[in-house]
């Protein structure tokens, strides 16, 4: 329970007492001030309830963000480890047979280029001879 809810409940109770006292003493102005204080207390309690809800939701959001951050960090570490393993396997081959490695890389690039070129439609314009 936050400060606004406590203070609002206190004002509401004081307003109720003032309102009852105004009715008992046949003082309409005191009763009206008591009703106003009671309404102010209810409004302040509502503000406190909203603050608590916002705080709770913000806490939930931060816990989700922390979880996502942890998952992203784990995924990065796994990818980094896999890349290091791949480098440790490929590096000796490249050092021993550099020309073969260059030829394999060029062939791979050529194949990827063919695949990318074949995946989009090509339009060829033919200009008639005059």
Residues 49, 5: Cα–Cα separation, whole Å:
7
Going by pLDDT thresholds of 50, 70 and 90, the confidence category of residue 39 is very high
Parent domain of 76: 3-119
Confirm whether 47 is domain-assigned.
yes
**Average pLDDT over every residue of 48-63:** 90
User: Pick from 46, 40, 47: which is nearest to 15 by CA?
Assistant: 40
Tell me if 128 is assigned to some domain.
Answer: no
The residue-averaged pLDDT of 84-99 equals 92
- Which of 12-21, 66-75, 102-111 is predicted with the least confidence, judged by mean pLDDT? 12-21
Asked if residue 38 belongs to a domain, the reply is yes
Confidence of residue 46 (pLDDT cuts 50, 70, 90): very high
Contact between 4 and 51 under an 8 Å Cβ cutoff? The reply is yes
Mean of pLDDT values over 59-68: 91
| 130 belongs to a structural domain | no
Q: Does the residue 49 lie in any domain?
A: yes
34, 18 Cβ separation under 8 angstroms: yes
Q: Total structural domains in the chain?
A: 1
Share of the chain above pLDDT 70, in %: 99
Alpha helical stretches, state H, 25-97 = 28-96
Taking only the tens place, the pLDDT of each residue in 6-36 is 888 888 889 889 888 888 888 888 989 989 9
Of all residues in the chain, the percent with pLDDT exceeding 90 is 48
* In-domain check, residue 104: yes
């Amino acid at each position: 329970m936050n400060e606004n809810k406590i203070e609002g409940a206190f004002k509401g109770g004081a307003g109720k007492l003032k309102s009852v006292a105004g009715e008992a003493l046949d003082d309409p102005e005191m009763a009206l001030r008591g009703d106003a204080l009671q309404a102010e207390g209810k409004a302040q309690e509502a503000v406190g309830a909203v603050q608590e809800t916002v705080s709770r939701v913000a806490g939930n959001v931060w816990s989700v963000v922390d979880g996502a951050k942890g998952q992203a960090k784990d995924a990065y570490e796994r990818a980094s480890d896999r890349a290091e393993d791949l480098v440790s396997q490929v590096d000796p081959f490249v050092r021993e047979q550099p020309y073969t490695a260059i030829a394999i890389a060029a062939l791979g690039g050529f194949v990827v280029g063919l695949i990318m070129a074949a995946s989009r439609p090509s339009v060829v314009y033919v200009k008639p001879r005059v």
